[in-house]
Amino acid sequence: MDTPSLSTLGQHLQTLRKARGWSLSQLAAAAGIAKSNLSRLEQGNGNPTLDTIWRLAVQLKVPFGTLVAPIAVPLGEDGVEVRLIDQGKDSPQVDAYWMRCAPFTTRVAEPHTPGARESLTLISGHLEAGPEGDTRQLAAGDTLTFAADRAHCYRTGDDWATLLVSVVYHGEVPR
Partner DNA sequence: ATAGAACGTTCGATAAAAGGAACAACGAGA
Partner DNA sequence: TCTCGTTGTTCCTTTTATCGAACGTTCTAT
Element (H, E) at 16: helix 3-19
d(C-alpha 153, C-alpha 161), whole Å? 14
**Shortest distance in whole angstroms from residue 79 CB to a copy of itself:** 18
d(C-alpha 70, C-alpha 107), whole Å? 20
Rule CB under 8 A: which of 15-34 touch a copy of itself?
none
Question: 1 or 110: whose CB is closer to a copy of itself?
Answer: 1
Residues that bind DNA (CB under 7 A): 23-26, 32-37, 39-43, 46-49, 51-52
d(C-alpha 153, C-alpha 94), whole Å? 19
Question: Are the beta carbons of 100 and 80 closer than 8 angstroms?
Answer: yes
Question: 109 or 144: whose CB is closer to a copy of itself?
Answer: 144
Q: In 3D, which of 66, 79, 92, 73 has the Cα closest to residue 2?
A: 73
Rule CB under 8 A: which of 45-64 touch a copy of itself?
47-51, 53-55, 63-64
d(C-alpha 18, C-alpha 24), whole Å? 9
**Shortest distance in whole angstroms from residue 123 CB to a copy of itself:** 4
Residues that bind a copy of itself (CB under 8 A): 1-2, 5-6, 9, 47-51, 53-55, 63-66, 68-69, 83-94, 96, 98, 117, 119, 121-125, 139-141, 143, 145, 162, 164, 166, 168, 170
